[in-house]
Every structure is written in C-alpha cells, then in structure tokens.
Amino acid sequence: MTTLAATGRTAAGPQQRDATWWRQAVVYQIYPRSFADSNADGIGDLRGITGKVGYLRELGVDAVWLSPFYPSALADGGYDVDDYRAVDPRIGTLVEFDELRAALHGADIRLVVDIVPNHTSNRHAWFREALASPPGSRARERYIFRPGRGERGELPPSDWTSTFGGPAWEPVGDGEWYLHLFAPEQPDLNWADDEVRQDFLTTLRFWADRGVDGFRIDVAHALAKDLTEPLASQAELDADVCSGAHPLQDRDEVHDIYREWRRLFNEYDPPRTAVAEAWVPAHRRSRYASPEGLGQAFNFDLLEAGWNATAFSSIIDKNLELARESGASSTWVLSNHDVVRHATRYALPDGTDLNAWLLHDGAEPHPDEERGRRRARAATLLILALPGSAYLYQGEELGLPEVADLPTDALQDPTFLRSRGEQKGRDGCRVPLPWAVQGPTLGFGDRLAHLPVPADFVRFAVESQASDEDSTLSFYRRALAERRLLQTGESLEWLTPTSPAVVAFTRPGGWTSFTNFGSTPVPMPAGTVIVSSSPIDGHTVPAETTVWLQQDRPAPL
C-alpha cells in the first residue's frame, strides 16, 4: 500500500509535531512594539498581536517568537528588562499575554519568548538595591562591580569597550564601576552568584507554567565570565581565538548553566525548547545546541554571506554536519531585528559597507530594489527547503526593505548615540508593519507610530498583497503551505549542479529545491514545479530564482 507518508504529502498530525515540533519549525519573530498597535498610542502591543493571529495562521508559521515585551525604559528596544515576570504596561498585561497564548495555541501556533539573562536593566530592583548599597555589599555581588584604578578610583578597571560603543565600565560615584557589555542601562549580571541562577530558574518556570513552548536566549555566549585580576586588555581580548577561556565570551562553564536549564525544560511535557543566540564560530555552536544544553542555536552564517552559490552550499553542508554532531537540527536565518533586512542586503553590490550606506540615508550606492526582492525570495525559498528550522522576521513576508533614511532625531537604537553617530544602528529594520493602504500609519495603529512609517510602505501593505497572487505575501503563504506538506525526514541529498551558479538538492518524498544564483536562465530539472520564487516561463529556471519541484509520485498499488 502506498501510504500518504511515502509520498511526502501528509500533514504532520499533532502527535508527530509534539515533542519534536521545533526540529523543523518555521518560527516567526515578532518585535512587539512594531507589529500592530491596538489602542492608538503608537506602540505595538499584545492585543495587536492577538488580533493578527488569523494572519499568522494564514501565513502558515509553526511558532511565534516574541522579542521582549517586559517592563523596560527601552534603552535597548526592550533588551533592558526591569522585571522578567511582568508585561510592560504599554504593551499589555499578563491577562492579555494569556489571551495571546491561548489564541496562538488555538491556531496551532507555538509561542517562544525571549529571555535576556546576560544583563538586567538599570531600573531592575536588584540594580537599584546595588546602587543604594555600599561597595562590598551583598547587593553588589549580583552584578560585576570593581574598584576603579587611579588614586580615587577615577579610572575604569580596564580599557574594555562595550558593543554599542564607548567604555564597558560605568562609575557609580563611590570609587566602584560596574560592567556593561552593552548600554550603561544594561548592567551585566554575575552568573557565579547563586541567587542570580535561582532567580532565572524561577523566571523560566514562570513562563513555562504559563504555557510558553520555548525560549530564545539572548547573548547566550556571555553569561559566564572570569574577572580574575589582572584584567586582560581589550587588545588581548580581541586576539583570543575562541579558546573557551576568553574572560567574557563563550567560556566552557557557561554550559553548566544551560545543563541546569535543560533539566528544568525536561520536567515539562512536551519539554520546553530553547534556541541560543550565540555569536560564536560555527565549530563552537554545537555546544549550545546539544540535547543536554539549550537544544538549538542560531546559525547566522547565511545572514552574513553574500549572494553566492558556493558560499550557500558550503554553509549548508557545514551546518548540517554540525547538526548531526550535536543531535540538534540546524537553524536558518536571513533577517532579524539586529541586521539590515535581506531584501535590501541583496539589492546592494556585494561587499557594500552597510553602515556607511545607512549613514548616507541609503542613497549611495543606490539599491536595486527589484533585484533585492527577487534574490530575497529565492534565498528564502531555498532555506525553507532545508532540513531544520527557519526563523523569519516580521515584514520579510511583505518583501519589506530596510528604511535607511529615518530622520536622526527619530532614531532609538543606543548604537547611534553611543557611537556618536558613527553607527546608524538597527532602527531601519524595526519600522512598524504596513497593514493597510490608508491611514497615517498604514494600519499599524491609528495616528502615531513610535518610528515613522514611510509613505512608500503603502506598496507593501498586507491589504494590497493579500489578494494579489504574485505578491511576496502570497508567495510566502504558498511556500509555507507546501513546506508543511513536504517536510518529513531530516535528510538532504545534493544534486550535481549543472552550473557553478546552481545549488540543488532533494529531500525525502521526491522534493527537489533548485536555485539559480546566476544572471542567465538554466535548464529546468525534471519534475513538476510546485512553487517558484519568480515567474516561470518555459523550460528554464530564470536568473536568481529558486524552484521547488516534485518528482512523479509512485503510482498507487
């Protein structure tokens, strides 16, 4: 008998999707403040998201990952958390969180929340207590305080610089300084402290008990630190080649923390999942992704690669190998809230300095928008055919470009100010979504938007794309619906490329993905075309296009 599974055309039932649902999930990242505003205050909120669950279901994603929605002064877009077990009143309430969770689950969509364990905000109760307490006090042990150098402690303990620019130490006025790898409003926690460890276990439980299915772990590589004196210089830190003994990053003992978390996750049924945001070289990634650890880790290799067939195939190969090693499934990411949107990256000449381009308000070099979108669709269709999970970022399904010409006084990213304007920052990918073709914020909210929505975003509005068969939104819907039917095993077999510009492989069930990275058409391989990233004409795969084909199905016995 020919089973449905043998044809690869069966939709995985709830049973199958349970404990392993994350292995091949399509996870849609929502940046809550910029998704949908339900009460016209200019800030996206939880009710706004709940109102769009139908949209997410129709899009066909398996899970939603919410960037932080916790109380925060927004010194770093919410990654400066005041209270890990509450909702920012501007974004909603815990009751509204429960409503959102229920609506998502009702639509068979899992929910992943962001946990920010490397640092709290400077408004967190612990940090306030630390500031109000003297040097050497218990309250200061939860953070990383050190006496300054110089006679009166007027010099920082070391020359370290923070990720957002400027020094990584901030004085508190009594001779002590505290460490902040990011903004000064984000004091680093001391993970050698037992209370810190225990409190995060409480936080994880708090959300897991509320029905959250998984966690995205922010800056997962930096929690464990060794500040034994004498402190290394910044130059020495920069020279460290990820030995596992760098004082601030990717230290081997960070995995003790995640082993403890994993035990907690596994107390739940199904076990809670986690994905590490760990900016470490590929060969160190498997440690985060191991089944005894977080279980999965972001692979940003494609996001960092250009439009290039050779780069894509070697990155895919390497990451599938790493996934086999760790027992995790791989992850594929082209865009997120920290990088220039991929439709724009691919619109610019390879090697463009993206920050310099942003600083020129996107004028020079001039982006070829159409080409960028064409390549972006092709790259997306390629990653959606790969074994593992695909992480999509809100708005990419609309083909949204980066907004490069936000007025300077509208910028919110601390990077801009901390670098004294040398880094434009990440606001251009965080602009609110255009839902409608009318209204001052194109349907994001009523009158206001916390970042201005450019008038030409009307071209990308959901309202106009939803009924247009050729739109990027319709294309994403088709691709996700087909993927859901086709995705079965986790194996991939490379097809011998017919040209150096081609990346092609098959998956179980006779599913072929074929990408032509080149600028001229190439012959179409055998099979029936199921989805293509650009219109097909005749028996060739057009330039900069991915097609999915299915080989003839076995005839029923």
Which residues are at the interface with Ca ion (CB under 5 A)?
A: 37, 39, 41, 43, 45
Burial of residue 377 (CB within 10 Å: 0-12, 13-18, 19+) is buried
d(CA 203, CA 331): 25
Three state DSSP letters for 87-105: CCCCCCCHHHHHHHHHHHH
- Name which of 82 and 338 has its Cβ closer to ligand GLC: 338
User: Min. distance of Cβ 427 from ligand GLC in angstroms?
Assistant: 11
Closest by alpha carbon to 481, among 382, 373, 366, 384?
Answer: 384
Q: Report if residue 339 touches ligand GLC, rule: CB under 6 A.
A: no
Under 8 Å between Cβ of 534 and 377: yes
Pick 43 or 386: Cβ nearer Ca ion: 43
Query: Minimal distance in Å, beta carbon 63 to ligand GLC?
Result: 18
Residue 76 interaction partner, one of ligand GLC, Ca ion, none, beta carbon < 5-8 Å per kind = ligand GLC
CA-closest candidate to residue 540, choices 512, 510, 554, 520? 520
Contact (CB, 8 A) for 514 and 499: no
Shortest Cβ contact with Ca ion: which residue?
45
The SS3 assignment for 217 reads strand
CB of 47 to Ca ion, least distance (A): 8
Residue with CB nearest ligand GLC? 79
Please name which of 331, 315, 457, 443 lies closest in space to residue 390, comparing C-alpha atoms: 331
CB of 219 to ligand GLC, least distance (A): 5
Q: Which of 182, 346, 444, 505 binds ligand GLC (CB under 6 A)?
A: 182
Look at residues 104, 120, 371, 374 and name the one whose alpha carbon lies nearest to residue 223: 120
Closest contact distance (angstroms) between CB of 429 and ligand GLC is: 11
Q: What number of other Cβ atoms are within 10 A of residue 426's Cβ? A: 22
Which of the listed partners (Ca ion, ligand GLC, none) does 116 bind, with a CB threshold of 5 to 8 Å by partner kind?
Answer: ligand GLC
Between 81 and 204, whose beta carbon lies closer to ligand GLC? 81
DSSP-based three-state secondary structure for 114: strand
Closer to ligand GLC by Cβ: residue 115 or 309: 115
Which among 252, 279, 384 is positioned nearest to 330, based on CA atoms?
384
Instruction: Pick the closest to residue 340 from 353, 327, 328 (CA basis).
Output: 353
DSSP-based three-state secondary structure for 369: helix
What mask, x for binding ligand GLC by CB under 6 A, covers residues 117 to 156? ----------------------------------------
* 338 is a contact residue toward ligand GLC (CB under 6 A): yes
45 touches, from Ca ion, ligand GLC, none (C-beta below 5 to 8 Å by class): Ca ion
Of these, 218, 250, 397, 482, which contacts ligand GLC (CB under 6 A)? Answer: 218
* Closest distance to ligand GLC from the beta carbon of 11 (Å): 33
- Spatial separation of the C-alpha atoms in residues 295 and 23, rounded to whole Å: 10
79 forms part of the interface with ligand GLC (CB under 6 A): yes
CB of 41 to Ca ion, least distance (A): 4
Least CB distance to ligand GLC at residue 76 (A): 5
CA angle 62, 68, 70 (to 5 degrees): 130
The partner in contact with residue 219, picked from ligand GLC, Ca ion, none with C-beta cut-offs of 5 to 8 angstroms by kind, is ligand GLC
The nearest distance, CB 74 to Ca ion, in angstroms, is 14
Question: Could you say which of ligand GLC, Ca ion, none residue 37 binds, taking C-beta under 5 to 8 angstroms by partner kind?
Answer: Ca ion
Query: Among ligand GLC, Ca ion, none, what binds residue 39 when CB lies within 5 to 8 Å by partner kind?
Result: Ca ion
Whichever of 313 and 415 has its CB closer to ligand GLC, that residue is: 415
State which of residues 36, 219, 274, 411 lies at the interface with ligand GLC (CB under 6 A).
219
Q: Could you give the C-alpha distances from 387 to 436, 484, 519, in angstroms and in order?
A: 35, 12, 27
Q: CA-CA distances (angstroms) from residue 341 to 301, 345, 395, 402?
A: 15, 6, 9, 5
Per-state percent for the chain, helix, strand, coil, to nearest 5: 30, 15, 55
- The least CB distance from residue 43 to Ca ion, in Å, is 4
Q: Sketch the per residue contact string, 277 through 306, with ligand GLC: x for CB under 6 A, - otherwise.
A: x-----------------------------
Strand 389-393: give its sheet, edge to edge.
273-276, 214-217, 110-115, 63-66, 26-30, 389-393, 331-333
Q: Return the number of the residue (79 or 391) whose C-beta is nearest ligand GLC.
A: 79
H/E stretch holding 512 reads strand 511-516
**Residues in 233-272 that interact with ligand GLC by CB under 6 A:** none
Query: Judged by CB, which is closer to ligand GLC: 63, or 461?
Result: 63
402 lies in the site for ligand GLC, by CB under 6 A: no
Which residues, 6+ apart, have CB-to-CB distance to 508 below 8 Å?
Answer: 8, 488, 489, 491
- Residue 490 burial (CB count, 10 A): 18
Choose between 213 and 277: whose C-beta lies nearer to ligand GLC: 277
Binding-site string for ligand GLC from residue 82 to residue 121, where x marks contact by CB under 6 A and - marks none: ----------------------------------x-----
69 is an interface residue for ligand GLC by CB under 6 A? no
Which of 62, 76, 96, 427 is the binder for ligand GLC (CB under 6 A)? 76
# residues contacting ligand GLC (CB under 6 A): 9
CA-to-CA distance for 33 and 42, rounded, in angstroms?
Answer: 8
Pick the closer one to Ca ion by CB: 43 or 100: 43
Looking at residue 151, the DSSP 8-state letter turns out to be T
CA distance 507 to 489: 8
CB of 455 to ligand GLC, least distance (A): 27
Residue 218 binding: pick among Ca ion, ligand GLC, none (C-beta 5-8 Å cut-off by kind): ligand GLC
Q: Under the rule (CB under 6 A), what is the footprint of ligand GLC?
A: 76, 79, 116, 182, 218-219, 277, 337-338
